[in-house]
A and B are shown apart, each in its own frame.
Chain A
Amino acid sequence: MDLNYSTEDLAFRAEVRAFLEAKLPQDLSDAVRLGRGLGKEGHDRWHSILNEQGWLAPTWPEEYGGCGWNAVQRHIFDEECCRAHAPRIVPFGLTMLAPVLQKFGSDQQRAYFLPKILSGEHWWCQGYSEPGAGSDLASLRTRAVRDGDHYVVNGQKTWTTLGQYANWIFCLVRTDPDAKQQEGISFLLIDMDTPGIEVRPIILLDGTHEVNEVWFTDVRVPVENLVGEENKGWTYAKYLLTHERTNIAGVGFSQAGLEAVKRLARQQIHRGRPLIENPHFAARLARAEIDLMAMATTNLRIISAAAQGQAPGVESSMLKVKGTEIRQEINDLARRAAGVYALPFASEALAGDNSALAPPEGSDAAAAQYFNNRKLSIFGGSNEIQKNIIAKVSLGGRT
């Protein structure tokens, strides 16, 4: 056992930190720190800064432009990015679709799509969930019917994150309605400019436009946009989901969130003292920090095993459950710290107002983020589904 990072790891951390100090634009890190939206322009700007550095695709093999980092280095990079309030990399093209194309795509698809993901020319979104198919994804109903050298797609996808910015969508579609549920599904790449596609915004309870419904009416998709074999899409989808679950613990987000709570609690005054000195608040904050310290090590244990070639099993489900619980608790502490300043809508709470009437920094978005992050335990396979997986694997053969 050695709880310390190696000398090489520490040097790598210093290199990442220096890069972030030099290249991360202040306006972007401010927006992230204060929980405000970046817009497409902000995301694009950070995407191209990372691409220029060659650090955009840590999970890709080097032959496609990946960084060649191991799991520990990727973890250090994530942690430093969170610490510096760097924008989150929009994952749909880079960490979800790209591994599928690299493993199952045709040479032509790889050659065409991968460079455009790196350059930012293609902004991908995910077409998995449907109104009747959430955690039970295999019950999806969007149909694709072969017509000559095209598929004709009809149906509806939902919860399409940042779909309003996307020009391409990867979709699971049903190509054989008579097959068993998980068979008869195919994986299609669809240009969002194709006639028959309509994107409708879903406004979330915190007032943000982050997700969308995407409707398909007789959308014609060339057959060369099929990934792998027809009716084998479920295999590729599952492969994608294992990649979606990298960095699932969100340790860096929780650490940054905890720091934000502490900053806010130092500014807020209760009975003439900073809130952070209040014993009840301090006790809750300490409990969250203790849970996070243990979870960070659980995460490192799993990452370290993965770096030595062991495939994570139920551990990723455990990290999803615990990681989201801790992040949500930290969000709850932030809204608590904000006190009455949690009440106003973030978007209207005098953001950027430097006058005497401005709220304490970080307080205006606290409640909105608390509500928004209730999604963490719902998406990517709800925490209930994760617990079913843990129980099924662990009790398998015993009951």
Chain B
Amino acid sequence: MNFQLTEERQMLQDSLRRFLADRYTVTARNKAIADPSGYSSAIWTQLADLGVLGALLPEAVGGYGGAGFDIATIFEELGRAGVVEPVLDTAVLCGSLLCGPHDAQPLPRDRQYLERLIAGDLQLAFAHGEPASRYERTWVETTATVGGQDIVLTGRKSVVVNAEAAELLIVSAREGGASGDRDGLSLFLVDPKTAGVRMQGSALLAGGRAGEIELDGVRLSPSARLGAAGGAAVRVESALAAAEVALAAEALGAMETATRLTMDYLTTRQQFGRPIGTFQALQHRVAEMLIEVEQARSAVINAAGHLEGAPQVRDRHIAAARNLIGRTGRHIAEEAIQLHGGIAMTAEYELAHIAKRIVMSEHRFGDADTQLERFIDLSAA
């Protein structure tokens, strides 16, 4: 057994943590949140320069990592600092989609996109979820039909994170099969300026932005297809697996920050003539938070360590980690707010943002209940 990070990962973690501690101040973050793009392009470039984006992708496409522990190491730091930049959507989710399964070789076009992504020169968004899909990975009702020389997309995509900033959308659509089927699913690269794409953006509660998208007879060349026709389910599932490991690790980092801020507060805030941290009832609650952070850390290690494993084993560990973090994350966020009192409710205090990051992470790719159902299904199979 060895739970130490490799030297390279340790170095990346240290430099990323230092960079974010120095540069990603509350003021810098609030500026990024208020930016019309939903993020800071200066920070994005600096993250690329630090090697953060490259470390999320494999050597075969010009990166220098891409394994579960690379993703977990980076996202724990991003979570610790409450980073709102779309690393998850552009690099992990869309990066994985462009790479495809481990044995696949990306086309030269897709390799070029990946190179630009690693250089910090490309924003992407995965337009996948729909009004009726509710976290189901292959529930796609949007259709892709042949219309003369073209492929025609028709459908609706909901809460597509980073959609407005994206130069390209990766859109899932069905070329066959029924809603929920794994077969018949395809992916398409779509320029959001294409005729028939309608988008309405909104800010997200925990930072960043998303778009509601309508695809009304959007005509594409067949070359816009990413991977094999009707066979995209494996690609989608492995990209979502990587994104869920990232999200679990991000929540872990945020839970560490929430707990640290709470401990700092309990030792400084005076009520009834003494620091409130001297009250045993509150001490026990901090102790529980600390226990839960360690449980969350172990769950992230389990999930990250199985990301390259067989899909069923991988997904079972991911569902377990995300269910546990859904539960403990809610507990830690709520306890941190409660133990702070009113100050934690104010937008300008750091904990407010961190608590929102933790709780809202449950709303991407499946909340604790959904993960519980997945775990039960995968355990019975």
Partners in one complex: yes
Complexed CA–CA distance, A280 and B344 (Å): 31
Chain B positions within 8 Å of A349 at CB level: 202
Chain B residues whose C-beta falls within 8 Å of the C-beta of A328 in the assembled complex: 334
Indicate if the CB atoms of B281 and A342 lie closer than 8 Å: no
A278: chain B residues within 8 A (beta carbon) = 369
| Alpha-carbon distance A204/B352, docked complex (angstroms) | 8
- Within B312-355, which residues are at the interface with A (CB < 8 Å)? 330, 334, 337-338, 341-342, 344-348, 352-353, 355
Q: Is A341 in contact with B158, judged by CB distance below 8 angstroms?
A: yes
Chain B's closest residue to A328 (CB) is B334
- Given the known interface contacts A341-B159, A378-B345, A384-B282, the answer about A280 and B373 at a Cβ–Cβ threshold of 8 Å is yes
**Chain B residues within 8 Å of A286, by CB:** none
In the complex, the chain B residue whose C-beta lies closest to that of A342 is: B363
The docked-state distance in angstroms from the alpha carbon of A343 to that of B180 is 23
Closest to A349 in B: B202
User: Does A344 lie within 8 Å of B372, measured CB to CB?
Assistant: no
The stretch of A57-65, A218-226, A253-261, A268-276 that contacts the partner chain? A268-276
Report yes or no: A377 in contact with B338, Cβ–Cβ below 8 A: yes
- A159: chain B residues at CB < 8 Å are 342
User: Which residue from B136, B203, B334, B372 sits with its C-beta under 8 Å from A270?
Assistant: B136
Q: Given A202-B346, A339-B363, check contact A269 B132 (CB 8 Å).
A: yes
Chain B residues numbered 125-147 whose CB sits less than 8 Å from any CB in chain A: 129, 131-132, 134-136, 139
- Residues of chain B within 8 A (CB-CB) of A371 are 205, 345, 355-356, 359
If over half of B's interface residues share one DSSP class (helix, strand or loop), that class is named, otherwise mixed; here it is: mixed
Q: Which of A203, A206, A281 contacts B348 (CB 8 A)?
A: A203
Which interface class (under 10, 10 to 19, 20 to 34, 35 or more) fits B? 35 or more
B363 A340 Cβ-Cβ under 8 A = yes
- Per the bound structure, the CA–CA distance linking A368 and B206 in Å amounts to 10
Chain A, Cβ-Cβ closest to B368: A336
By beta carbon, the residue of chain B nearest A379 is B342
Kindly state whether residue B212 has any CB partner on chain A within 8 Å: yes
Q: Which of B180, B345, B353, B373 touches A374 (beta carbons < 8 Å)?
A: B345
- Contact (A205, B136) CB under 8 Å given A339-B363, A340-B363, A342-B363: no
Task: State the CA gap A353–B200 with chains docked (Å).
Answer: 11
**Contacting residues of chain B (111-161) with chain A, CB-CB under 8 angstroms:** 129, 131-132, 134-136, 139, 156, 158-159, 161
Bound-state CA distance A340–B270 (Å) is 40
Contacts of A129 in B (CB 8 A): 342
Within 8 A of B (CB), among A291-346: 328, 332, 335-336, 338-346
| The one of A204, A268, A284, A382 that contacts B346, using a Cβ cutoff of 8 Å | A204
Please tell me if B214 contacts chain A, counting CB pairs below 8 Å: yes
Enumerate chain A residues within 8 angstroms of B248, measured Cβ to Cβ: none
CB distance from A282 to the nearest CB of B (A): 10
Q: Tell me the minimal C-beta distance from A132 to chain B in angstroms.
A: 7
A134 beta carbon closer than 8 Å to chain B: yes
> For chain A residues 104-123, which have a beta carbon within 8 Å of chain B?
none
Checking A135, A207, A332, A367 against B271 with a beta-carbon cut-off of 8 angstroms, the contacting residue is A135
A272 touches B205 (CB 8 A): no
CA distance A328 to B180 in the complex (A): 34
Could you tell me if B347 and A374 are in contact, using CB atoms closer than 8 angstroms? no
Given the known inter-chain contacts A135-B271, A271-B139, A356-B214, please indicate yes or no for A344 contacting B202, CB distance below 8 A. yes
Residue pair B156, A378 in contact (C-beta under 8 Å): no
Cβ–Cβ contact A344 & B198, under 8 A:
no
Name the residue on A nearest B337 (C-beta).
Answer: A374
> Does B134 lie within 8 Å of A272, measured CB to CB?
no
CA distance A384 to B340 in the complex (A): 12
**Chain B residue with minimal CB distance to A206?**
B205
Contact yes or no, B338 A344, CB < 8 A:
no
Residues of A within 8 A of B134 (CB): 268-271, 275, 339-340
Chain A residues within 8 Å of B200, by CB: 350, 353, 357
What is the CB-to-nearest-CB distance from B230 to chain A, in angstroms, rounded to a whole number? 21
Complex Cα distance, B362 from A284, in Å, reads 16
Say whether A205 contacts B346, CB under 8 Å: yes
Output the least CB separation between A202 and chain B (Å): 5
Q: Is B102 an interface residue (CB 8 A)?
A: no
B362 nearest CB across to chain A (Å): 8
Residue ID in chain B nearest A284 by CB atoms: B369
In angstroms, how far is the closest chain B Cβ from the Cβ of A269?
Answer: 4
Interface size class of A (residues with CB under 8 A): 35 or more
Is A9 interfacial (CB 8 A cutoff)? no
Given A269-B134, A272-B180, A350-B200, CB of A205 within 8 Å of CB of B347: yes
Question: CB distance A340 to B204 under 8 Å?
Answer: no
A135-B271, A270-B134, A375-B342 given; A348·B202 CB < 8 A: yes
Q: Which residues of A contact B31 (CB under 8 A)?
A: none
Bound CA–CA A52/B337 (angstroms): 41
In the assembled complex, which residues on chain A have CB atoms less than 8 Å from the CB atom of B213?
357
* Nearest opposing residue in chain A for B339, CB measure: A384
Bound complex: CA A28 to CA B205 (Å)? 25
Closest A residue to B158 by beta carbon equals A340
Contact A205 B345 (CB under 8 A): yes
**Which chain B positions have C-beta within 8 A of A275?**
134
**Complex Cα distance A348/B59, Å?**
41
Do B156 and A356 have beta carbons less than 8 Å apart? yes
> Does B23 touch A at the CB level, under 8 Å?
no
Say yes or no: is B293 at the interface (Cβ < 8 Å to chain A). Answer: no
Give the residue of B179, B205, B271, B344 whose beta carbon is less than 8 angstroms from that of A344: B205
Asked if B345 contacts A340 (CB within 8 A), the reply is no
Asked if B360 is at the interface (CB within 8 A of a chain A CB), the reply is: yes
Q: Which of A338, A340, A382, A383 contacts B129 (CB 8 A)?
A: A340
Known: A205-B355, A344-B202, A357-B212. A339 touches B345 (CB 8 A): no
Instruction: Answer yes or no: A139 CB below 8 A from chain B CBs.
Output: yes
Q: Which residues in window 347-399 of A have CB below 8 A to B?
A: 348-350, 353, 356-357, 359-360, 367-368, 370-372, 374-375, 377-379, 382-384, 387
Q: Which A residues lie within 8 Å of B202 (CB)?
A: 344-345, 348-350
Q: CB of B18 within 8 A of chain A?
A: no
Q: A136 on the interface (CB 8 Å rule)? A: yes
Separation of A340 and B212 alpha carbons in the complex (Å):
11
A contact residues around B164 at 8 Å (CB): none
CB distance B136 to A203 under 8 Å? no
A275 to B272, CA, bound (A): 47
B156 neighbours in A (Cβ, 8 Å): 356-357
Q: How far is the CB of B336 from chain A (nearest CB, A)?
A: 10
Instruction: Using A202-B346, A269-B132, A280-B369 as known contacts, list a sample of 9 further A-B pairs with CB atoms less than 8 Å apart, ordered by residue number in A.
Output: A134-B342, A272-B132, A284-B369, A332-B330, A336-B369, A340-B363, A342-B363, A343-B363, A344-B159
Residues of A at the B interface (CB closer than 8 Å) are: 129, 132, 134-136, 139, 158-159, 202-207, 268-272, 275, 278, 280-281, 284, 328, 332, 335-336, 338-346, 348-350, 353, 356-357, 359-360, 367-368, 370-372, 374-375, 377-379, 382-384, 387
